Amino acid sequence: MGLIWLALAAVAVWALARLGRQTERARRGHWRISATILSTALFAGAVLAASRGVWLAAIGLAGAGLWLAVQSRVRTVPPRASVAERLTEAEARAILGVTADATPEAVQAAWRRLMARAHPDQGGTEGLAARVNAARDRLLKG
């Protein structure tokens, strides 16, 4: 019986360690927290089923818990270069609000002014900040 409690404690420590490493955005983070709690319950059920000798159920529960734990860790990285590639010079100037004869210093000043509002830490969105960055990159490098 002591071995069962030790296995359940190991599952609980794993869940707490995994929950402590959650560093995602709000929507994705909620999914990971829910998946961690559910996979912990599945692992605990597998330990209890194995302790009672119901091996088929234990293997099924452990497999489901492992699958859920792995799937909740898959990260999708949005492509960064695609925004800048699709942006024309006229669109970039419209986003930053600069004229066709703007100097690189004027472009940089417009970028700083917009990023003060568009940055996700200042209440903006990641998509808007990416477009502002892409517009600056297009005008300064293109």
On whether both 6 and 63 belong to a single domain, the answer is: yes
- The answer to whether residue 7 sits within a structural domain is yes
* pLDDT digit string, tens, across residues 23-50: 555 555 566 777 777 788 888 889 889 9
Domain boundary among 46, 71, 96: 71
In this structure, what CATH number is given to the domain that contains residue 89? 1.10.287.110
Q: What is the domain count for the chain?
A: 2
Each residue's pLDDT tens digit, 93-127: 999 999 988 899 999 999 999 999 888 888 888 88
How far apart (Å, rounded) are the C-alpha atoms in residues 78 and 88?
20
Query: Is 76 domain-assigned?
Result: no
Answer yes or no: do 58 and 37 share one domain. yes
Please answer whether residues 96 and 136 qualify as being in contact, where contact means their C-beta atoms are separated by less than 8 angstroms.
yes
In a domain? residue 45: yes
| 140 phi and psi angles, rounded to 5 deg | -85, -30
Lookup: tokens for 53? 């000798």
Q: Can you tell me which residue has the tokens 């293109």?
A: 142
N-term to C-term CA, the chain: 70
What residue numbers bound the domain in which 130 lies? 81-141
Dig out the tokens for 2 from the structure: 């002591």
In whole angstroms, what is the distance from residue 77 CA to residue 79 CA?
6
Q: What is the pTM of this model?
A: 0.43
Q: Is 51 exposed, middle or buried (0-12, 13-18, 19+ CB in 10 A)?
A: middle
